[in-house]
C-alpha cells in the first residue's frame, strides 16, 4: 500500500511535536523523575503507539497492521536492551541523576535520525539488489550469537574510539558544569563530560541501528511501517529508563530472548531471500520454492518469546539474588560518589533504596546470595556506605 505524502508529513510533524513537548515541559528544567511521573508518561507513549497501530489496522488492512505491531514490539524490545548500555555509559561518566534525562533525550533524537538514514538506505538497497536480504539475515544471526556471549552488556561502551580521540586532541574538563556542553578551565574553553557522554551515546546509537533496521525489514518492506514502528518504539524510552530503574538487571534472560527473536527473523530473511533469489550460483538464479513465514506467525513467535523471557527472568531465584545484589552495588556506588548529585534528598533516597535492597537480600536463600558475582566486593562497598552515612549524619547534628 502506497502512503500519500501528506500522511508522511503529518506523521513527521506529530513525532517532532512529541519530542519538542518532551523537552520543553519535562527536560528543560533538570530534575529526577518520580516513579509516578515515569509510569504515567510511559503509559501515554505506549498508548499513542497502540492507537496509531489500530489506525493502521483499520485504514491499511490486517497485513499492514500486523506488520506494524510485529515491528513495534521487536523494536521496543531492542530499545529496552539498549537501555542496559545507556546505563553503563552514564555510570561510566557519572552523569548526575538530575541531568540524565537530557542525555537520554539526545540519545533518542540521535537514534531517530540515525535509524531514519538507515531505513531509507535499506529501502534503496532492497529495491536495487534483492540479494541484500541474505546480508540482512547474516547480520541478524551474527548479532544473535553476539547477544549470547557472557558480559555482553558490560563492555566499556563509554571508552569508544571517538571519546579517546576527543580526549587526546581536544581540551576536556574532568568535572560537570551543570548541563553545559562547554565550560572554561584556567581561562580556556573545554569540553565537559556532558558533551562526551552524548558523543558516546550517539556512537552506540549508530551501532544499534545496524542491528535494528535489518530486524524490522525482516518483518516488513513497507518503508512507512518501518519508520513509524521504529519512531514510536523510541518515544517514551526516556520515561521507561526511569520506570525500570533497578529492574533492568532483573531481566537476566532478555539477551537470550532477543537472540532467539533475531535468529528467527534472520531465518525468515534467508527464506525470503531464497524465494526472491536471483544469484546465479543458487538454483541457477531462479527462485527457490520455500516456506515463507507469515506476519501473523511472526507476531505470535515474537510475543511468545518475550513473554517466556520475562516470566523466566522474574521467577528465577538466582536472577532475583543477582539483581538485588547488583542494585545494592549501584546504589552504593552512587552514594559513595558525592559528585553524583547535589541534592541531599536524592542521596537519602538512594540510601533508603540500599537499605530496602539489603533487607530483601537477607531474606533470600544463602546459596544464591553467595553465588552472586562480585558479592564480597559489593559487601565491602555497602559497609563503606553505612560508615559514610553515619559520618554525614554526625556532621549535620
Q: What is the model's pLDDT at position 228?
A: 94
pLDDT-derived band at 68, boundaries 50, 70, 90? very high
What is the percent of the chain with per-residue pLDDT over 90, rounded to a whole number?
15
- Per-residue confidence (pLDDT) for residue 69, from 0 to 100: 94
* Angle, CA of 278, 68 and 247, to the nearest 5°: 115
> How do residues 240-277 score in pLDDT, each as one tens digit?
877 776 566 667 788 888 889 989 998 988 888 887 77
> Cell for 206?
549508530
β-pair partners for 183: 190
> Would you call 374 helix, strand, or coil by DSSP?
coil
Q: Measure the CA–CA gap between 250 and 325, rounded to whole angstroms.
A: 11
8 Å CB contact between 98 and 346: yes
Among candidates 255, 256, 274, which has minimal Cα distance to 137?
274
Q: Range with the lowest mean pLDDT among 13-22, 198-207, 239-248, 257-266?
A: 239-248
pLDDT value, residue 245: 64
Instruction: Give pLDDT, residue 8.
Output: 93
Which residues make beta-bridge pairs with 190? 183
Report the pLDDT averaged over residues 101-108. Answer: 84
Burial class (CB in 10 A: 0-12, 13-18, 19+), 339: exposed
172 SS3 class: strand
Q: Are strands 182-185 and 188-191 parallel, antiparallel or unpaired?
A: antiparallel
**Interhelix angle 100-128/223-234, nearest 10 degrees:** 170
What average pLDDT score do residues 91-111 get? Answer: 80
pLDDT value at 84 more than 50: yes
d(CA 131, CA 394): 70
CA atoms within 13 A on the CB side of 214: 28
Instruction: Output the average pLDDT for the chain.
Output: 80
pLDDT at 258: 86
Phi-psi region of 151 (alpha: psi -120 to 50; beta: other; left: phi over 0): left
The band of 158, judged by pLDDT with boundaries at 50, 70 and 90, is very low
**How many angstroms separate the CA atoms of 370 and 80, rounded?**
29
Rank 116-120, 159-163, 361-365 by mean pLDDT and report only the highest: 116-120
Identify whether the C-beta of residue 64 lies closer than 8 Å to the C-beta of residue 213: no
Mean pLDDT within 172-186 = 75
Tell how many helices (H) and how many strands (E) occur in the chain.
15, 2
Instruction: Write out the H or E segment, with its range, that includes residue 358.
Output: helix 344-362
Q: How far apart are CA 210 and CA 96, in angstroms?
A: 30
Which pLDDT score, from 0 to 100, does residue 276 have? 77
Model confidence at 155: pLDDT above 50: no
Say yes or no to pLDDT of 302 above 70: yes
Amino acid at each position: 500500500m502506497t502512503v500519500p505524502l501528506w500522511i508522511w508529513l503529518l506523521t513527521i510533524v506529530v513525532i517532532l511535536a512529541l519530542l519538542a513537548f518532551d523537552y520543553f515541559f519535562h527536560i528543560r528544567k533538570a530534575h529526577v523523575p518520580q516513579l509516578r511521573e515515569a509510569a504515567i508518561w510511559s503509559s501515554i507513549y505506549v498508548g499513542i503507539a497502540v492507537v496509531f497501530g489500530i489506525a493502521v489496522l483499520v485504514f491499511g488492512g490486517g497485513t499492514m497492521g500486523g506488520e506494524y505491531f510485529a515491528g513495534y514490539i521487536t523494536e521496543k524490545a531492542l530499545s529496552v536492551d539498549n537501555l542496559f548500555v545507556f546505563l553503563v555509559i552514564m555510570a561510566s561518566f557519572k552523569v548526575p541523576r538530575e541531568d540524565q534525562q537530557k542525555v537520554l533525550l539526545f540519545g533518542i533524537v540521535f537514534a531517530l535520525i540515525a535509524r531514519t538514514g538507515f531505513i531509507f538506505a535499506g529501502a534503496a538497497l532492497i529495491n536495487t539488489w534483492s540479494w541484500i536480504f541474505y546480508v540482512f539475515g547474516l547480520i541478524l544471526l551474527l548479532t544473535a550469537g553476539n547477544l549470547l556471549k557472557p558480559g555482553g552488556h558490560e563492555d566499556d561502551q563509554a571508552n569508544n574510539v571517538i571519546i579517546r580521540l576527543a580526549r587526546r586532541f581536544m581540551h576536556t574538563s574532568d568535572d560537570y558544569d551543570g548541563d553545559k556542553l562547554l565550560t572554561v578551565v584556567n581561562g580556556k574553553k573545554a569540553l565537559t563530560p556532558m558533551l562526551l557522554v552524548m558523543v558516546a551515546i550517539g556512537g552506540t546509537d549508530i551501532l544499534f541501528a545496524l542491528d535494528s533496521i535489518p530486524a524490522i525489514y525482516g518483518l516488513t518492506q513497507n518503508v512507512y511501517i518501518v519508520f513509524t514502528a521504529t519512531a514510536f518504539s523510541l518515544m517514551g524510552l526516556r520515561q521507561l529508563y526511569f520506570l525500570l530503574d533497578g529492574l533492568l538487571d532483573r531481566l537476566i534472560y532478555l539477551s537470550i530472548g532477543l537472540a532467539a527473536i533475531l535468529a528467527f527473523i534472520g531465518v525468515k530473511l534467508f527464506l525470503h531471500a531464497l524465494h526472491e533469489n536471483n544469484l546465479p550460483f543458487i538454483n541457477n538464479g531462479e527462485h527457490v520454492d520455500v516456506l515463507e513465514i507469515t506476519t501473523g506467525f511472526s507476531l505470535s513467535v515474537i510475543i511468545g518469546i518475550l513473554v517466556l523471557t520475562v516470566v523466566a527472568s522474574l521467577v528465577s531465584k538466582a536472577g532475583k539474588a543477582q539483581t538485588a545484589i547488583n542494585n545494592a552495588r549501584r546504589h552504593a556506588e552512587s552514594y559513595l560518589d558525592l559528585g553524583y548529585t547535589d541534592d541531599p534528598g536524592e542521596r537519602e533516597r538512594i540510601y533508603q533504596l540500599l537499605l530496602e535492597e539489603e533487607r530483601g537480600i537477607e531474606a533470600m536463600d544463602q546459596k544464591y546470595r553467595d553465588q552472586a558475582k562480585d558479592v564480597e566486593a559489593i559487601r565491602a562497598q555497602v559497609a563503606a556506605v553505612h560508615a559514610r552515612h553515619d559520618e554525614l549524619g554526625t556532621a549535620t547534628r
